[in-house]
Chains A and B, each alone.
Chain A
Amino acid sequence: MTLTLIIIAMAIVTYLPRVLPVFIMDHLQFPGWVNKWLKAIPYAALGALIVPGIFTVEPGAPIVGIIGGLVAAVIAYFRGHIMIVIIAAIATAFIIQRF
C-alpha cells in the first residue's frame, strides 16, 4: 500500500465517525457502558502508544526514553505548557545522549 493510499484510507475512517451521526441521529441510543467505553478510548490509546514505544526512542538505550518521559511527566503534572513539556523532553534526551 502506498503512502497516499494509506492517508486516503485514514481520512475515510476518520471522517466516517464524524459524519455518520448527521444521518443516523434520529434513531440512536447507546447503553451506558458503551458510552463509558468510548470515553475511555483516547486514554487507553495514549497508554498503549507510550509503552513500549518509548523504550525504543534510542535503540539499545531504553534509559533515554524512560528519563525523558519522566521529565515530561513531571513538567506536565505541574501544569507546564505542552510546548515546554516537549522541548524539555527533547533537551533531556539530547543531554543524555552526550554522555
Chain B
Amino acid sequence: MREEQLKEIHPPTYSEDYWHGLKLAVPVILGYLPIAISFGVLAVQTGISFFHALLMSMTVYAGASQFMALNMLAIGTAGLEIVLATFILNVRHFVMSISLFSNLQHIPKRWQTLLAQGITDESFALASLRQKELGSQPSAAIYLGIFSGAFGMWVIGTGIGAFIGNIVPEALSDSMGIALYALFIGLLVPAIRAYWKIGIIAAGSAGLSWFFSIYLSEGWAIVLATVFGSLIGVWVLEEEEK
C-alpha cells in the first residue's frame, strides 16, 4: 500500500525501473551462467575462436541454436544448413514476440525493436509470468532491465568458458562431447514429465532424424526431422485456451 502511495507522489524514474527489471531477472541471470560457460568451453574445443564464440553469443543469442551450430560445425556441416536449422529452431520466438508486444504497444517502436533481440524462452517466460507485477503500462526501461541482465550474463559466461576452454584437461575434454546432449536431454525430459505428449513429438522427430540421416547429411536430417516431426504436435497437442 505504502509503495502505491509513493508511486503517486513520485513516479519511478527510468533508472529505478531498469534496476527493478534487473532484480526480477536474477533467476534467469543465475541460470544462464553455467550454460553459457559450457557453451564457451565447447565452442573453443570445437575449434572456434574466442572472438567467434563471443560474436555468436552477442548476435545470435539463442542457446539451443548456438549449441546446435557447434554440433553441426563439429560434424562438418555446410553453412547454409546451419543457418536454415537456426531459422527453423527459432521460429518459435515469433509466437513469443507476438505475445509480448501485444502488451507493449504503448512503447515506441524503436524501443520495441531493441527489446526484440532480448527474447529467449527463459526471459520471455519470466516477463510473461511477472506481467501483473509490472502494471498495465510498464516502461521500456523495466523490460530493458530484465532482458539486458540475462543477455549480459550469457555473454560474460561465454567469455569465461571460452577463456578456460583450452586449459580444461584433454582426458576430460574427450568426454565433454556428451555435454551438449546432456543439455538437450536436461531440457527435454522435464518437459515430457510435465506433459507426456511432448514425448511423442520428440520420439517421432528422433526417429525421423535417424531415418533421414541414412540418406542425407546430418544437417539436413535435423532440419527436415524438425519441420515434419513438429507436425505431430498438430495432432497430439491440445488447443491453448485464450
Q: Output the nearest chain A residue to B98 by Cβ-Cβ distance.
A: A21
Query: From DSSP, what is the main secondary structure of chain A's interface residues?
Result: helix
Residues of chain A lying within 8 A (CB to CB) of residue B239: 32, 35-36
Which of B113, B209, B234 contacts A48 (CB under 8 A)? B209
A49 to B66, CA, bound (A): 12
User: How many A-B Cβ pairs are below 8 Å?
Assistant: 280
Q: Which 8 A-B pairs have the closest CB atoms?
A: A40-B233, A47-B202, A1-B79, A89-B182, A11-B59, A44-B230, A76-B189, A47-B205
CB of A51 within 8 A of CB of B90, answer no
Contact mask for chain B residues 88-118; partner A; CB cutoff 8 A; 1 contact, 0 none: 1111111101101110010001001100110
CB of B237 within 8 A of CB of A90, answer no
CB within 8 Å of A: which residues of B? 31, 34-35, 38, 48, 52, 55-56, 59-62, 64-65, 68-69, 71, 73, 75, 78-80, 82-84, 86-95, 97-98, 100-102, 105, 109, 112-113, 116-117, 119, 121, 171-172, 174-179, 181-191, 193, 198, 201-210, 213, 218, 221-222, 225-227, 229-234, 237, 239-240
Residues of chain B lying within 8 A (CB to CB) of residue A21: 94, 97-98, 100-101, 116
Query: From DSSP, what is the main secondary structure of chain B's interface residues?
Result: helix
CB of A77 within 8 A of CB of B176, answer no
CB of A14 within 8 A of CB of B181, answer no
Assign chain A's interface to a size class: 35 or more
User: If A46-B188, A47-B209 touch, does A72 touch B174 (CB 8 Å cutoff)?
Assistant: no
A65 to B29, CA, bound (A): 30
Residues of chain B lying within 8 A (CB to CB) of residue A38: 91-92, 94-95, 230
CB of B88 within 8 A of CB of A14, answer no
Q: List 15 A-B contacts (CB under 8 A).
A: A10-B65, A17-B93, A36-B237, A36-B239, A37-B230, A39-B237, A40-B230, A44-B204, A44-B205, A45-B68, A47-B202, A51-B209, A68-B181, A72-B178, A82-B187
User: If A11-B60, A72-B185 touch, does A43 touch B201 (CB 8 Å cutoff)?
Assistant: yes
Q: Output the nearest chain A residue to B69 by Cβ-Cβ distance.
A: A10
